[in-house]
Amino acid sequence: MPCRAGDVEQMLWNFVWKSAYHDSVTLMRLTRDLEAVPGVGRAAAMMGTPQNRALLKDAGLLGPDGEAASPNDLLIAVAADDEASARAAEAAVRTALTARPAPGDRHTAARPRSLDSALRVLPDATLALISVPGLYAGAEARKALAAGLHVMLFSDNVPIETEVELKRLAIARDLFLMGPDCGTAILNGVPLGFANAVPRGRIGIAAASGTGLQEVACLFAAAGEGISHAIGVGGRDLSDAVGGLMMERALAALARDPATEVVCVIGKPPGPSVARRLETLARTLGKPCVVHFVGGAEALPAAGGVIEERHGFAEVLRASGGVWGAISGPPMSLEDAARAAVALARGEAFTSVEFTAPAPEIDRLVGDATRGQAVSQRFVRGVYSGGTLAWEAHGLLAATLGEVAPGVTGGGAGHRVVDLGEDVFTVGRPHPMIDGTVRREWIEKDGADPSTSVLLLDVVLGYGAHPDPAGELLPAIEAARHRARAAGCRLAVVASVCGTTDDPQPRAAQVARLNAAGVIVMPSNAQAARLAARVAAKAGRG
Amino acid sequence: VTAAAGRRGGPLLGGDTRVITLGLELFAHTCAAVGIPVVHVDWTPPAGGDPRLADLLSRVTDETPCRSSS
């Protein structure tokens, strides 16, 4: 039954398909298909969960039929000029779903409907990779552990009590529970979730941080090293509430692993009791170990007094006999952690780096970036898809520029950073590394703001990520620049590309596309943040 | 989970990895692309979409004791 769609001159149709569940990536594609139909304005394809129904209601896209949808029902909401357009949109969804991969595909040859039936198809399975909505993720993880499988829990929005319960269950069964909100892992050379194509090698990673793990792994590859394994443990594992249950297990596994010569631990600042435990574990690991905590300036005191803060890595390394180093940022960075691990593997001296390019080259980049900027353009605006990278940028900007809006939610009128992978931005939508729709909106909005001097971006490559992240962002960057020019401004854009030569989207090609569009691409997120800070500082001085 | 039986997985590190994916199908595509055995579950919310009931049902499991140690 049609009704008026919000405040626009179109009518609203809701179609409810009973018992037709689809994942968030499929739904994103269906939404695009709907919006491409002539005569259709706004549209959405979502599962009929209470949360999604509330989102549609706020958007003026929920009608009486949609209100009755259940979590297992596909809800198609269409604001259209007329009934024929709305029906054509529904037909487009049917066509798109019919065009899904044929059952002849190797990995879809059998399509079991449950974990139990999947185990009959693959009885020697070793691991369950779970990315169902958070409401159901705990139950699926519990079933997988009970079936004797290691679990990588990609899903977020899992209560912390459930996390603790699942991790204790995993330990009791001699298994791993990686996550929840574990975005990436590389085990035995197999990339899981968002992971880069990194050569196999001698450095093992244990990380409570998705893009932190990806950044150091890619920097190892760039330095000619490789990884033995990269174990994600979930962003909350180092909190005192969880107690580092999986980090401890990951470190023990890497200590036993003959392929691992050096261990690199990455995470946000831990709770005080976990920090003490981690320090003991790292010191007694029996292998060289680098520990790095990433965090905004306000996050640092959490580990204060336990693991030495703001020390140059070289000092700490000397003090511990050369086998253990804690380097916490800022000003230290993920790049410093990667360089330290490489130095330990090669028995070389570690040196921290601010920029790899010579100082005159950096001065030239800053001069070019600020040339022609208006006096109003004073601030850095970081628009990120990776949470750890966003926090690292926040910390480094704060260390150089002083005042940066607290957190990574994009608030405030000055320097600010937003992480669009935060739960609040991903409800009912795929992660911004998969689909950059929301990020493009932020780039256009922040880039066109006359107070923005420089946009700071991460571009994360690898399996699971968008097939052409640079190509996806460039139209928004160009649109922002166009609007800035119209307002008498000239926008600078600085980025880093987290990826490798062997990724599905080869790094060099992505960098070339960005460079061709006038984006300054730095070798690491830390260097990109530092350069953006230099640009804004110079712009602010006029 | 009637198929439950101790620990199937073996040690996390050092052996083969064979994966069952539930949720985003693109992760199954990645496993297939790198040539490891993978089965994707055509998942739908269990228990008619009632998360509390799904949680309760997941606790009704086979309690076969696991093998020790990796």
ipTM of the complex: 0.84
**A150 backbone dihedrals φ, ψ, rounded to 5°:** -65, 155
The whole-number average pLDDT for the span A110-118 is 88
Among A93-102, A263-272, A487-496, A522-531, the range scoring the smallest mean pLDDT is A93-102
Structure tokens belonging to residue A66: 């949609």
pLDDT tens digit sequence for A248-281: 999 999 999 999 999 999 988 788 788 878 878 8
A104 CB neighbours in chain B (<8 A) are none
Task: Kindly state whether A190 is in contact with chain B, defined as any CB-CB distance less than 8 angstroms.
Answer: yes
Q: How far is B47 from chain A (nearest CA, A)?
A: 10
> What is the rounded end-to-end Cα distance, in angstroms, of chain B?
23
**Distance separating alpha carbons of residues A114 and A7, to the nearest angstrom:** 43
Would the CB atoms of A21 and B45 count as touching at under 8 Å?
yes
CA A209 to chain centre: 9
Cis peptide before B51 (omega within 30 of 0): no
Would the CB atoms of B13 and A463 count as touching at under 8 Å?
no
Structure tokens belonging to residue A219: 């920097």
**Distance separating alpha carbons of residues A498 and A500, to the nearest angstrom:** 7
Q: How far is B28 from chain A (nearest CA, A)?
A: 7
Structure tokens belonging to residue A290: 């680098």
Would the CB atoms of B42 and A142 count as touching at under 8 Å?
no
Cis peptide before A331 (omega within 30 of 0): yes
Instruction: Tell me the residues of chain A between 26 and 65 that have a Cβ less than 8 Å away from chain B.
Output: 26, 47, 49
Task: Kindly state whether A351 is in contact with chain B, defined as any CB-CB distance less than 8 angstroms.
Answer: no
B66 CB neighbours in chain A (<8 A) are 148, 172-175
**Out of B1, B26, B31, whose CB is closest to A147?**
B1
Task: Kindly state whether A70 is in contact with chain B, defined as any CB-CB distance less than 8 angstroms.
Answer: yes
**Distance separating alpha carbons of residues A460 and A472, to the nearest angstrom:** 12
Task: Kindly state whether A434 is in contact with chain B, defined as any CB-CB distance less than 8 angstroms.
Answer: yes
- What's the half-sphere exposure (Cβ side, CA atoms, 13 Å) at B39? 22
Instruction: Tell me the residues of chain A between 127 and 166 that have a Cβ less than 8 Å away from chain B.
Output: 127-133, 135-136, 138-140, 142-144, 146-150, 154-155
* pLDDT score for A330: 54
Residue of B nearest to A22 (CA): B44
**Are B20 and A195 a contacting pair, CB within 8 Å?**
no
Structure tokens belonging to residue A75: 């809800």
A454 strand-pairing partners: A380, A492
Task: Kindly state whether A114 is in contact with chain B, defined as any CB-CB distance less than 8 angstroms.
Answer: yes
Among A47-56, A125-134, A249-258, the range scoring the smallest mean pLDDT is A47-56
Q: How far is B56 from chain A (nearest CA, A)?
A: 8
B52 CB neighbours in chain A (<8 A) are none
Would the CB atoms of B17 and A24 count as touching at under 8 Å?
no
- Structure letter (DSSP) for residue A114: S
Would the CB atoms of A464 and B27 count as touching at under 8 Å?
yes
Strands A200-207 and A262-267: parallel
Low-confidence ranges of chain B (pLDDT < 50): 1-6, 62-70
* pLDDT score for A424: 74
- What's the half-sphere exposure (Cβ side, CA atoms, 13 Å) at A521? 20
**Distance separating alpha carbons of residues A426 and A409, to the nearest angstrom:** 13
Residue of B nearest to A434 (CA): B26
User: At residue A80, does pLDDT exceed 80?
Assistant: yes
**Are A402 and A437 a contacting pair, CB within 8 Å?**
no
pLDDT tens digit sequence for A464-508: 899 999 999 999 999 999 999 999 999 999 999 999 999 999 999
Q: Coil, strand, or helix at residue A56?
A: helix
What would you report as the CA-atom Rg of chain A, rounded to the nearest whole angstrom? 24
Q: How many CB pairs under 8 A join A and B?
A: 228
Q: Which amino acid is at B39?
A: V
